[in-house]
Structure 1
């Protein structure tokens, strides 16, 4: 668990360095009726709302965009884990549900792994990157979607 928290902190430090037009929220717990979801990071920008799932795995990471499970291979040992693209899609669905009265918000889900992970992932319609490519993945969105700087309350 501490590896996951450490990885989340490294991602937090990375996205905190984005320009002022990006507002960063970390480690959020949302509850609605009997359902809840924990989201590692949300970055609100004029270009969309980035929903970031952090994975602290290293080694070879393999899987498909629509696979139920992915595999971590490290030192000849293999471990399966739930597809983080699907996990993050659940976070986006939950946010859409919570914000159902809002305008059609552009959500951009991103899965980010440690720099020491060798990603052998087949994903054409999803963003899966190592931490060192995260800011580039976010900054590739340049068409304003929201008007003005996001504000709180």
Structure 2
């Protein structure tokens, strides 16, 4: 029985150390986990759980990412229909909503790509940048930042 248990147990993901010589059984004397040559298993992502119960259909389990994708799609449609400012504002708000969902909802399904902090920072910064740029779009900007105008005049006139 012990031999069968050893056969079923997966080996550790280690790479041979280029410097170590093999022992009598052919295994390297020293092993390292620094640069494994292949991956036997991957860790489940932090938000890799389901947003709904397992018996719910797939779209219901992935409602956070579907919400963000639908809002971005609607924003792109509005932008294509020549409602540029509102379309881009909706895209930015969708990314900000994705950051909020990633922060509040513990299991967001496929909305979780990286660690929680990295996802929130990425969605938040990109969403905020898109919202600010949409508000500064010409003509008739909703937001004017005075030093940007001075910076533009300084760089163009020199």
Same fold (TM over 0.5): no
Determine which structure has more spread, i.e. the larger CA radius of gyration.
2
Question: Relative to total residues, which structure has the larger strand share, 1 or 2?
Answer: 1
> Relative contact order (alpha carbons < 8 A, sep ≥ 6): 1 or 2 greater?
1
Relative to the length of structure 1, the TM-score reads 0.29
